[in-house]
Each structure stands twice: as structure tokens, then as C-alpha cells.
């Protein structure tokens, strides 16, 4: 069995990341979503290991110290970060792990795991994104204007990502992500052992 991929997945708010990931996870039993760690207290209904791994400040700092956080940031007095161990375990089991993360965190992950695959998802246009934000009905006019401006800034980070997926329809975006994951598994850098197999007459089809 070949190792799963670590996928850094980013995009501006209103790009439809949640919907696309929801569909992808529903379709694929071998794709998992990374779970973040945090020092903030669990809210009612939140389960350790599901919404977050809940850690004490001491535990969190120790993980940083041990190099066991792929990335982290402090926000409003609490730490948030991506623990490396579950990702290591899940990819070793052959599952692809998606890390939905903003661009600064994504850049930290890429430094520690240059073998990751990075995908940046964009709305077909900023106009469309504005429409989607408005469609949610949860934000006021001022907030929407700020978000569209922020999206412009976020999109400027797209060049540091490997792949661009335009979320014109959820189906199309999910198809494209599936194609990216499938192709990446055929990269020589990920399946060089296949060549050994061919030379040694082990009929291998892990790739």
C-alpha cells in the first residue's frame, strides 16, 4: 500500500472550501480532514479529537518544543496549530489527509513537509465570491466589503501553491481535486520503489 498524501488546501473565504471538502470527504473513504489542536476550552458539544485536540498550554508548548506541530499561531491568547502525529499515522495507513488552512499556516507546513501537495481554490470571480458571501446572509454590508478586500489579498498568495482549482461548480472542483490526488501518487518521487519492484520481478501495482 502506498503512503497517503498530505494536502494543504487554502483559498479566500467565499471560495466554497467547506462545500467542496464536504463533498470530497463524503465521496472518498480514503481522504481525511486534519484536526487542529488548541489551548482554548472546549465549547458545549465539542469532542476532543473531532472539532479539535484540546491541549493545555503546557502540552501545546511541549509539542512545539518537540517539533510536533507542523504550524501554529497564537490568537486571542490561545494557541492553535496542526499536530504532526495524527497526519503521520493517517498517511502511513494510506489515507490522504487534507489540511484546510490559511496561507500563512500553509507556508509553515510547506517548509516542514516539502512533499505536501498544495491546492488553492478560488471562486470564478470576486463578483461571484461577493454574491456567495451575501447569500449566506450572516454578514452585514461592511463585513462583506472587508471580506472581499481581504480575499484580494489572500488570492495574491496563490502563486506559492502547486495547483489552482476554480470552484465553478462543486462537482467540477471535486473532480479536479481527485485528478490532482491521483496524479500526485504517480510522481516518481512518491513511487520510486515501483521501479525496484519491476527490476526484481515483483509485479507491483501500488502506483
206 Cα distance to chain centroid: 24
Q: Nearest Cα to 27, choosing from 165, 168, 173?
A: 173
Between CA 95 and CA 183 the distance in angstroms is: 15
Pick from 37, 122, 133, 174: which binds its own copies (CB under 8 A)?
A: 122
d(CA 140, CA 134): 8
Query: What is the x/- site pattern for its own copies, positions 156-175, by CB under 8 A?
Result: --xx-xxxxxx-x-------
Q: Sign of the C-alpha dihedral, residues 133, 136, 141, 143? A: negative
Q: Is 188 in the site for its own copies (CB under 8 A)?
A: yes
For position 96 contacting its own copies by CB under 8 A, the verdict is no
- Beta strands at 117-122 and 69-75: parallel, antiparallel or unpaired: unpaired
CA distance 64 to 74: 12
- Given 87, 125, 132, 143, the residue binding its own copies (CB under 8 A): 125
22 binds its own copies (CB under 8 A): no
153 annotated as a binding-site residue: no
Integer Cα distance of 122 and 166 in angstroms: 5
Q: How far is CA 55 from CA 43, 49, 132, 133, 172, in A?
A: 14, 10, 35, 33, 38
Using CB under 8 A as the binding rule, whether residue 198 contacts its own copies is answered as yes
Residue 152 lies near its own copies (rule: CB under 8 A): yes
15 annotated among ligand-binding-site residues: yes
- Residues contacting its own copies: total by CB under 8 A: 41
Classify strands 163-166 and 78-83 as parallel, antiparallel or unpaired.
unpaired
Q: Note whether 195 binds its own copies by CB under 8 A.
A: yes
> Which CB sits closer to its own copies, 41 or 199?
199
What are the CA-CA distances from residue 174 to residues 121, 155, 201 (Å)?
A: 11, 20, 37
199 contributes a contact to its own copies by CB under 8 A: yes
User: Does 31 participate in binding its own copies (rule CB under 8 A)?
Assistant: no
CB of 47 or CB of 205, closer to its own copies: 205
Answer yes or no whether residue 126 interacts with its own copies by CB under 8 A. yes
* Residues near its own copies, by CB under 8 A: 120, 122-128, 152, 155, 158-159, 161-166, 168, 176, 179-180, 182-184, 186-188, 191-192, 194-195, 197-199, 201-205, 207
Q: Which residues are annotated as a binding site?
A: 11-18
Amino acid at each position: 500500500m502506498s503512503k497517503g498524501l498530505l494536502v494543504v488546501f487554502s483559498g479566500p473565504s467565499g471560495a466554497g472550501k467547506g462545500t467542496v471538502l464536504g463533498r470530497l470527504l463524503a465521496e472518498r473513504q480514503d481522504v481525511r480532514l486534519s484536526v487542529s489542536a488548541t489551548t482554548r476550552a472546549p465549547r458545549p458539544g465539542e469532542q476532543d479529537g473531532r472539532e479539535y485536540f484540546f491541549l493545555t498550554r503546557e502540552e501545546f508548548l511541549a509539542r512545539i518544543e518537540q517539533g510536533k506541530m507542523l504550524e501554529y499561531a497564537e490568537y486571542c491568547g490561545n494557541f492553535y496549530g496542526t499536530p504532526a502525529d495524527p497526519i503521520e499515522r493517517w498517511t502511513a495507513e494510506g489515507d490522504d489527509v487534507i489540511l484546510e488552512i490559511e496561507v500563512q499556516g500553509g507556508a509553515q507546513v510547506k517548509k516542514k513537509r516539502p512533499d505536501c501537495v498544495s491546492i488553492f481554490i478560488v471562486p470564478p470571480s470576486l463578483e461571484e465570491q461577493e454574491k456567495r458571501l451575501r447569500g449566506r446572509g450572516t454578514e452585514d454590508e461592511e463585513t462583506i466589503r472587508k471580506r472581499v478586500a481581504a480575499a484580494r489579498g489572500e488570492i495574491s498568495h496563490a502563486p506559492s501553491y502547486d495547483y489552482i482549482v476554480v470552484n465553478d461548480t462543486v462537482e467540477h472542483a471535486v473532480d479536479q481535486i481527485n485528478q490532482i490526488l491521483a496524479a500526485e501518487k504517480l510522481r516518481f518521487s512518491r513511487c520510486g520503489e515501483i521501479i525496484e519492484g519491476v527490476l526484481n520481478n515483483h509485479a507491483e501495482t501500488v502506483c
